[in-house]
Amino acid sequence: MASAAPQGLPLLYNDLVPLSKNEHAGYSLKPMESLAFIQNVHALPVTVDEFLMAQRTMPIVFSSGPDPVPLALMGLNEGINTFVGEDGKLADGAYLPAFVRRYPFMLARLQPNSDDMTLCFDPTAGLVVPDDTGLPLFADGEPTEHVTNALNFCQEFEMSAQRTGQFVRDLQEMGLLEDGEITIQNEQFPQPFVYRGFQMVSEAKLRELRGDQLRKMNQNNMLPLIFAHLFSLSLMSDVFGRQMVQGKVPAQIPSMTM
Q: CA-CA distance, 120 to 239, in Å (whole number)?
A: 34
Q: Nearest-CA neighbor of 189 among 253, 257, 256?
A: 253
Task: Write out pLDDT tens, residues 122-137.
Answer: 999 999 999 999 999 9
pLDDT at 3 over 80: no
CB 158 within 8 Å of CB 54: no
Nearest 5 degrees, angle CA 122-CA 123-CA 127?
A: 90
Torsion of CA 63, 64, 65, 69, to 10 degrees: 10
Residue-wise pLDDT for 189-240, tens only, equals 888 899 999 999 999 999 999 999 999 898 889 999 999 999 999 999 999 9
Within 13 Å, how many C-alpha atoms sit on residue 52's CB side? 6
**pTM of the full structure:** 0.92
User: Alpha-carbon distance 35 to 41, whole Å?
Assistant: 11
Residue 21, φ and ψ in degrees, nearest 5: -70, -20
Q: CA-to-CA distance for 143 and 133, rounded, in angstroms?
A: 17
The type of residue at 157 is F
